[in-house]
Structure 1
Amino acid sequence: MSKYLEVIGANTHNLKNVSVKIPKNKMTVITGVSGSGKSSLAFNTIYNVGQQKYLESLSSYARMFIGGLDEEAEVSEINGLSPTISIDQKTTNRNPRSTVGTITEIYDYYKVLFLNIGERKCIKCGTIVKKDSISDIIDYISSFDDGQKFIIRAPIKKDFSNFDTLKKEVLDLGFIRFSIGNDIYTVNDDLKIEKFENISIVIDRLIKKDFSDDDSHDTKRLKDSINLAYKVGAGQLEILFIGESSHCEDSVKKFSNIFVCSNCGHIPAELTISSFSFNSHQGACEDCHGLGVKKVFLEERVTNPDLTLLEGAIIAPGFGGDYFFEFLKEISKKNKIELNKKYHLLTKREKDLIMYGTGSKVYKVSFKSETGVKKEFSSKFEGILNTLTRRYFDGGADKGIYDDYVVDMDCPTCLGYRLNKESLSVYLNSKNIGELSDLSVKKSLEFFKGIKLSKSQEKISKKALKNIIERLEFLAGVGLDYMTISRKAGTISGGESQRIRLATQLGTKLEGIIYVLDEPSIGLHPRDNDMLIENLKKLRDIGNTLIIVEHDEDIMRESDHIIDIGPGAGIHGGNIIAEGSMTEIINNPNSVTGPYLSGKRDIFIKRGERKNYLKQRKQGKEIKIIGAKEHNLKNIDVSIPLENFVVVTGVSGSGKSSLVNDILANYLANELNRAKRGTGQFKEILGLENLDKTVIIDQSPIGRTPRSNPATYTGVFTAIREIFSMTEEAQIRGYGPGRFSFNTKDGRCEACEGDGLKKIEMHFLPTVYVECEVCEGKRYNPETLKVKYKGKTISDVLDMTIEESLDFFKSHPKVIKILKVLDDVGLGYLKLGQSSTTLSGGESQRVKLSTELSKRSTTKTFYILDEPTTGLHFQDVEKLLKILHSLVDKGNTVLVIEHNMDVILNADHLIDIGPDGGDKGGNLVYEGDIKGIQDCKESFTGQAIKKYLLK
């Protein structure tokens, strides 16, 4: 077996005939600046070829059912290749039905446990409902005192009008004794009772003996009597104690071998494994269909409190026409609602009538339209919220128009647990499956390690429990102990998603695999990095090869081999400039990474230089969040000094995103930018009078279709189209800027609708994207391409990198202004027309940042960024910090959530949330400067800073 994975002549993307030997069964880190070619080597070459070899090993029939590769690697040869598995940053699917539990298969084991050893309760009265076996009943009887007399009887679910019909029934069943209530009679008794109810047949009269010997006469008799009672009682029997008993307060103990409530008689539905699946009609809540949430229209979202009803206080779509306003006048007249009073000044009665309607009352409305035509109609008024709900769920209208007015709220029927009442009536150590899924990984581990089970339950659940605990420990081991099992896939970040898949791979214990990972440290606090590194080593030590695209210094230091690609991005990269051990990289003068690892080059821009935050606070120039208690936040008060570079830190799950994204960002967007976002829980936020606007820059894609690209998103394409429309050829042909858009029919190629590519489904071969044969991949029709600027068509321009286009458009300040900022944030290697679907989260975030930076310079803007260093090399971080500091220098405020030590050390003001994740987090651990946090014993960030500065 080869000791190396050997890549020969790789030319994928910007790689320049790269050849490299990667040691097998070792941990190799590929690093370099953004766009240097790291992913091109790791994912687009090594992983792609590995997948292609796997597909080629399958039959053509099997390949029909397996998705292929989007592109083939350009490489001469790869030797020593083993099966490849990619663990990248692509977030898990956005299906609202997917959760952490379903992705990791932990929930599948939960279902097995609850079906086989769960304790079921009646949904009507809460009584425990279970099937009682013969051995269960014998165990119960064996607990009696010796000599205890008892009767085994079978209840009959009939009422008899007279003694003769009762007597006949008893004799027909082959018995002579029966009971009415707890009184025993025979068929020979002459009973004078008006109504015969609560009748039971006496099966046997017994005395408690030793029933431990299955072959004894007494045990056989007892078993036969129990079997007969179940048969006569249609699955139910009762034990009636004779004389005093310490075992049952009511002198009667009920048993059943069918699922029926012994207290109220409710017969629950038979449960199967599907009954615990919210993706099955058997288990899903009937109200929310297994989603756990319902779409709800809220009064505060559909109204403008500062307008009167006649001025248009109802801002939701569909309430602005003549019919509505005339209808509103009639309703207000009959119900004494003031139309000329601002909405927030209306009484609760008035608001309730407007929102929820006036019942069955019918209103007759008559009015003249603007053209003088008389209009008449009669109608009930169901209320604004009810009308919106009906329209939304009728499906007749485009639901997208209601996005700003509707929110997801926990389903009131299942309380967000997604399952129906019967499925949620099964308990394991006092928790149903919904409650158990809502626990964090850490709490779940505590639950299962401390679970109390009977011997039979232990035997049944042994394998499932082992698998659950193993999977939970793997999740905790990659820094996800704060995450709940019920957390929706759509809320999981790229870094979290990757670590979930890493934990799943650890659980498989496969050997001989080449794992290709993309920055597994993303989103991790330095404290949690050690756990991640240990788990990566575990994966290596069982006989696997790890190829990790990474910028994290700790992971580099712990790796066996480092490959440095560069020296620059795009056309300036694509070469292996250094490789070897950590020491060899540090000592290699060609390495871009080495100087940062050795400490010869330091990202030290403005550490502690800006000392005005105390002054700002004294002048009241701060944003103060009071009473933040979203998710795990513990009702905390946080102050953010304005005109400073503020960094929010804390371990994963501590509450940073809850504070910054859910509360602050959404509130500022609503108040300053007139957005309609749902905000997290807080008491109040003060200091908005010091701000003009907020800019929130996250890592979501810049567009949902392949047609979105950096040129269209930043707006530079508009200016470029104007330049083309001003050329002599365009003027002669009468072409305006719209002609050069690939989104309009005039100028684009209609064969591919402006995409330049056609997708060919090959069934048993990989899906192939081929150039459109009509436009040859140029997106436009021949007439449009006849227009050239400086010898280049509009298609040629879109194929230029940002760096190339800077020189090409150097005489156009409007274009240069935008392109220069894109280049400054380290995106010079991107093509102007590069599809948004190919951009990473970090690249998308920097495109958004550059768009904001290219706008007219302002002050009093509050910038919010969530981990902006994602995917950035040391050199790129340095560039980013210069830009962020320049924003602050202009009088703006920049707040970032970040784990990167170089960013933290450049902060003017730190806000540390924690101290830990989940329920042990949510507190304000520290706020202040860098020096102070190092003395805070409770802060894991402070400890990490101390450790970092000692290197």
Structure 2
Amino acid sequence: TAPCPTCKGARFNEAALSVFLPTTAATPHYKKLNLNHFSQLPITQALEAAKGWQQTLTGSAAVIATPILREVTARLGFLNHVGLGYLNLARTAGTLSGGESQRIRLASQIGSGLTGVLYVLDEPSIGLHQRDNARLLESLRNLRDLDNTVLVVEHDEDAIRTADWVLDIGPFAGEHGGEIIAQGKIEDILSAKNSLTADYLTGRKSIPVPTKRRTTSPQRQLTVHNASGNNLKNLTVSFPLGVLTCITGVSGSGKSTLVMDTLHNALAVKLNGSRAMPTPHSHISGEKDVDKLVNIDQSPIGRTPRSNPATYTGVFGPIRDWFAALPDAKARGYGPGRFSFNVKGGRCEACQGDGLIKVDMQFMPDVYVECEVCRGKRFNRETLEIHHQGKSIADVLSMTVDEGYAFFKNLAPIARKLKTLQEVGLGYIRLGQSATTLSGGEAQRIKLAKELATRSTGNTLYILDEPTTGLHFHDIAQLLKTLHKLVDGGNTMLIIEHNLDVIKTADWVIDIGPEGGNAGGQLVAEGTPEAIAKSKASITGHYLAPLLKKKAAPQAA
């Protein structure tokens, strides 16, 4: 795509762009502003400009503009208050994250002034820095005070402690959960004995601060030179290799632009032959010490019911080989392909191995119903007649990871891969569970388990963008064990993160800011978490310092 040659990407016609307002103290780089100029401003700057016009316009202009500016400042104030001050007004909806879109809808509801409404929010703190999170919680309290009911699904500690009523569901995930463990005010939750949430809130369990951090070497580092994409201010940053580094900063400070759009895309072109275009920078040095680039995100491991953890991690291959080696299978001449639901032979042809039949619902989303022939087992009757210890291939796919590990514990190629799934806290998922039913956090941990089971070169660069999204304290503890295990193999881990429990365990921290939008894009501080906590210029350091002062709990997670 290319900008429109007529409007140069402004999207307004000549008549609309011919109306100007005087500049204000918030917009010194403009002599006068038209609608396009105003829409390109970050919300914080646009808010200050609107307030400036309220004070400077006189005569008939003031009479006309006063009610309009009152509405504009109110709506911009709501957006700024929910932590979106760094966004440009002209930002397209398709480039917004899920958390940003949710907070925009929240701001519009605050501005509506409705009462008697039930608001349901699913993790509104996603992608928010601790400072912005405090503003969000204040906005939610304002909604409540308007005589509304606010129902929030959340893992954030501040949100839990702010709530008037808490419902804790567990005790664990998957089939080991689904029970109400505790409910009531925060004091009632904290006194619950079998609640993992209470364990972490009271300090009975915790994610400890490392007693010793890995050392960095000036000779082994990856450096991005003169990055100027989006709001980055000609930034040169070095990422130490062989350690776990967190990239921090307030929302919109330029973290993702630096790491994902610049570093990741540039290395992906060199190492993976990607066509992704990196944002402007002069060059990258030190890449000779990296021979593999892996971006572990929370995108699905597959987009159809056919994809599942067993096929993604590669454990299904050895399982099929084992079934093909059984005496009954050999007697019938069955090979490993007979036990695959992706090819003809052993699969149920009525559903083509899906176990489900897709029903086209015309203008509504498609619906999947269980296959009436195989009853969801995916294989035909002849294939299901082959058993190992009384279990068919379909029975194995119905097992949880924990059950599968116990079943195959004496078969090293299978047990090793299942063990890695257990180590990342996924013992409860089923081997044949459809990829479409897995959460983003589960999908990400399956990808990590696959990496753990892969023989590493020791020069791999792993990049994760907010991996704690949607994770409970206990899940974060398990995730961190996995990440540090990968780094212990000599690999490098770069994590864009707001979660303080992750930041405090890092070997090195790079803080970008100081603010979001045009007021960001600079290197505020870098060093160990202790060094960041001492930096007066770092907003992250202000919130990190109290956690580092806490002593590690006697019982680690």
Query: TM-score normalized by structure 1?
Result: 0.53
Partner of 1:752: 351
In 2: Cα distance, 1:904 partner to 1:836 partner: 30
1:800 paired to 2:399: yes
* Partner residue, 2:43: 441
Cα deviation for residue 913 of structure 1 reads 0.1
Q: In structure 2, the residue corresponding to 1:784 is in which secondary structure?
A: helix
Q: Pairwise CA RMSD of aligned residues?
A: 2.7
Distance 1:456 1:901 in 2: 52
Within 5 Å, give how 1:376-391 maps onto structure 2.
none
Distance in 2 (alpha carbons) for counterparts of 1:907 and 1:765: 46
Spell out the pairing of 1:73-472 with structure 2 (5 A cutoff). Answer: 293-294=1-2, 410-411=3-4, 414-417=7-10, 419=11, 421-422=13-14, 425-429=17-21, 431-451=33-53, 467-472=71-76
The SS at the match of 2:467 is coil
The structure 2 residue matched to 1:502, chosen from 91, 106, 115, is: 106
Q: Secondary structure at the match of 1:773?
A: coil
Identify the match of residue 545 of structure 1 among 149, 156, 160.
Answer: 149
| Alignment match of 2:215 (pick from 604, 607, 612) | 612
Shift of 1:445: 2.2
Distance 1:590 1:785, change over 3 A: same
**Residues 770 and 548 of structure 1: CA distance in aligned 2, closer, same or farther (over 3 Å):** same
State how many pairs are aligned: 538
Q: Does 1:473 align with 2:80?
A: no
Please identify which structure carries the higher strand content. Answer: 1
**Which of 202, 207, 210 is the aligned partner of 1:603?**
207
The 1:567/1:424 distance shift into structure 2, 3 A limit, reads same
- Is residue 196 of structure 2 the alignment partner of residue 592 of structure 1? yes
* Mapped partners of 1:856, 1:486: distance in 2: 46
Find out whether 1:850 has 2:443 as its counterpart: no
Q: Which amino acid is 2:256 matched to?
A: S
CA shift for structure 1 position 634: 0.6
Partner of 1:227: none
1:879 pairs with 2:478: yes
| Residue pair 2:504, 2:547 contacting (<8 A) in 1 also | no
Q: Is the 8 A contact 2:534 2:545 kept in 1?
A: no
Change (3 A) 1:805 1:932: same
**Cα separation, 2, equivalents of 1:823 and 1:488:** 41
CA distance in 1, matches of 2:182, 2:414: 37
- Which is helix-richer, 1 or 2? 2
Instruction: Give 5+ residue unaligned stretches, structure 1.
Output: 1-292, 295-409
Q: Secondary structure at the match of 1:593?
A: helix
Aligned to 2:310: 711
Q: 1:600 to 1:671 in 2, by over 3 A?
A: same
What is aligned with 1:664? Answer: 263
CA distance in 1: counterparts of 2:134 and 2:334, whole angstroms? 61
Displacement of 1:454 in angstroms is: 8.2
Counterpart pick for 2:494 among 871, 892, 895: 895
The aligned counterpart of 1:188 is: none
- Tell me if structure 2 keeps the 8 A contact 1:842–1:868: yes
Q: Please tell me the residue identity of whatever aligns with 1:934.
A: A
1:471-498 CA-partner distances (Å, limit 9, x unpaired): 3322212111111233233322222232
Measured in 1, the distance between the counterparts of 2:204 and 2:127 equals: 27
2:488 equivalent to 1:488: no
Distance 1:723 1:428 in 2: 75
Residue 523 of structure 2: SS of its match in structure 1? strand
Q: Structure 1 residue 812 and structure 2 residue 415: aligned?
A: no
1:688 equivalent to 2:287? Answer yes
Is the counterpart of residue 784 in structure 1 residue 387 in structure 2? no
Structure 2: any 5+ residue segments left out of the alignment?
22-31, 551-557
Shift of 1:783: 3.2
Using the alignment, how far apart are the partners of 2:329 and 2:4 within structure 1? 58
Counterpart in 1 of 2:25? Answer: none
- Letter of the 2:304 partner, please give it: T
Report percent identity of matched pairs: 54
- 1:675: which partner in 2? 274
Aligned residue for 2:196, secondary structure, equals coil
For residues 4 and 427 of structure 2, what CA distance do their matches in structure 1 show? 48
Quick one: which amino acid aligns to residue 137 of structure 2?
I
> Is the Cα contact below 8 Å between 2:356 and 2:369 reproduced in 1?
yes
Asked whether 1:563 is paired with 2:162, we answer: no
Cα 1:935–1:489 shift into 2, 3 Å: same
User: What letter is aligned with 1:803?
Assistant: D
**1:509–1:767 Cα change, 3 Å:** farther
Pair 528,930 (structure 1): closer, same or farther in 2 beyond 3 Å: same
Could you give the per-residue CA deviations for residues 203-253 of structure 1, whole angstroms, max 9, x where no partner exists?
xxxxxxxxxxxxxxxxxxxxxxxxxxxxxxxxxxxxxxxxxxxxxxxxxxx
2:524 corresponds to 1:925: yes
Q: Secondary structure at the match of 2:512?
A: strand
SS in 1 for 2:101: helix
Of 405, 408, 424, 1:825 maps to 424
CA separation of 1:766/1:938 partners in 2, compared to 1, >3 Å: closer, same or farther? closer
Partner residue, 1:914: 513
Aligned partners of 1:871 and 1:765: how far apart in 2? 28
> How far apart, CA to CA, are the structure 2 residues paired with 1:651 and 1:551?
19
Equivalent residue, structure 2, for 1:305: none
- Contact 1:909-1:928 within 8 A present in 2 as well: yes
Q: Which residue number corresponds to residue 124 of structure 2?
A: 520
Counterpart of 1:887 in structure 2: which amino acid?
Answer: L
Any idea what SS the aligned residue of 2:9 has?
coil
Aligned counterparts of 1:866 and 1:636: Cα–Cα separation in 2: 20
> Who is 2:331 aligned against?
732
Distance 1:841 1:425 in 2: 43
Q: SS at the partner of 1:934?
A: helix
Aligned to 2:342: 743
Q: Aligned partners of 1:601 and 1:572: how far apart in 2?
A: 20
Change (3 A) 1:760 1:457: farther
The 1:772/1:428 distance shift into structure 2, 3 A limit, reads farther
What TM-score results when the alignment is normalised by the length of structure 2?
0.89
What SS class does the counterpart of residue 542 from structure 2 fall into? Answer: helix
Give the structure with higher Rg (CA). 1
Pair 1:834–1:634, CA change in 2 (3 A)? same
Aligned-pair distance for 1:804?
Answer: 2.1
Query: Secondary structure in 2 aligned to 1:516?
Result: strand
Contact 1:605/1:882 (8 A) holds in 2: no
